[in-house]
């Protein structure tokens, strides 16, 4: 019990330092509604937020809500999102998702994990983005950045996102989950990069065991 408490204290100290380093950490996907956030998050799979933000203005101008997108021509939708990659699968999922949200869900994006992951193209990561950023319900988003940083810090061991989510949720208070994910994503993009970690400018270097870190500068 004592060792667990000690580990949690160390994690919270490290997190506090990271919070100070990234005070503006936030969801980088541009959106004006819960539906738009859902669409943007689906598009962000295997794609950068920067690219998604370049695509969504025209997409949302053409299809402002789920009712409009549910009636979209699939070929036209594919062209609008082509540059995000895997555009055929994404277009199919967006159409089916729009049909479910505008139909059975009455035009409202559902607000529970069970209902969200039942939507086409929505896994736990996307569902947690919605829970935390649209509904203010604690959700621990685990993308490649979060997983990598968590493993290097010794906060998680698994390479499976669902398992990493459980590991992090066991370490951190629920009210911190959403913002912790934003902070770890910012840190992963700006400093703790995949190929070459920028350890020389890391704000938590003396707290980090650097597990699995290869090249660094």
Catalytic residue numbers, as ranges: 125, 143
User: Do residues 120 and 69 touch, judged by C-beta distance below 8 A?
Assistant: no
- In terms of Cβ atoms closer than 10 Å to its own Cβ (0-12, 13-18, 19+), residue 194 is exposed
- How many CB atoms sit inside 10 A of residue 49's CB? 17
Measured between alpha carbons, how far is 128 from 116 in angstroms, rounded to an integer? 9
Please name which of 43, 48, 85 lies closest in space to residue 60, comparing C-alpha atoms: 43
CA 152 vs CA 158, 184, 186, 192: distances in Å = 11, 11, 15, 9
User: Do residues 178 and 137 touch, judged by C-beta distance below 8 A?
Assistant: no
User: Do residues 152 and 208 touch, judged by C-beta distance below 8 A?
Assistant: yes
Measured between alpha carbons, how far is 170 from 43 in angstroms, rounded to an integer? 29
- Angle at which helix 177-190 crosses helix 124-134, to 10 degrees, equals 110
């Amino acid at each position: 019990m004592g060792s667990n408490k000690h580990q949690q204290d160390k994690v919270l100290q490290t997190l506090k330092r990271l919070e100070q380093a990234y005070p503006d950490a936030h969801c980088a996907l541009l959106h004006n509604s819960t539906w738009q956030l859902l669409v943007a998050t689906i598009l962000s799979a295997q794609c950068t937020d920067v690219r998604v933000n370049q695509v969504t203005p025209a997409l949302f101008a053409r299809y402002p809500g789920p009712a409009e997108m549910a009636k979209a021509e699939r070929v036209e939708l594919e062209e609008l999102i082509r540059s995000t990659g895997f555009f055929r699968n994404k277009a199919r999922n967006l159409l089916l998702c729009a049909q479910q949200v505008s139909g059975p869900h009455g035009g409202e994006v559902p607000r529970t994990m069970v209902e969200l992951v039942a939507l086409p193209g929505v896994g736990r990561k996307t569902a947690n983005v919605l829970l935390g950023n649209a509904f203010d319900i604690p959700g621990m988003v685990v993308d490649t950045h979060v997983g990598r940083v968590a493993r290097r810090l010794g906060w998680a061991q698994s390479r499976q996102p669902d398992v990493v989510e459980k590991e992090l949720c066991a370490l951190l208070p629920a009210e911190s989950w959403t913002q912790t994910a934003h902070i770890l994503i910012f840190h992963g993009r700006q400093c703790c990069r995949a190929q070459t970690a920028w350890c020389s400018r890391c704000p938590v270097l003396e707290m980090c065991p650097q597990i699995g870190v290869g090249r660094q500068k």
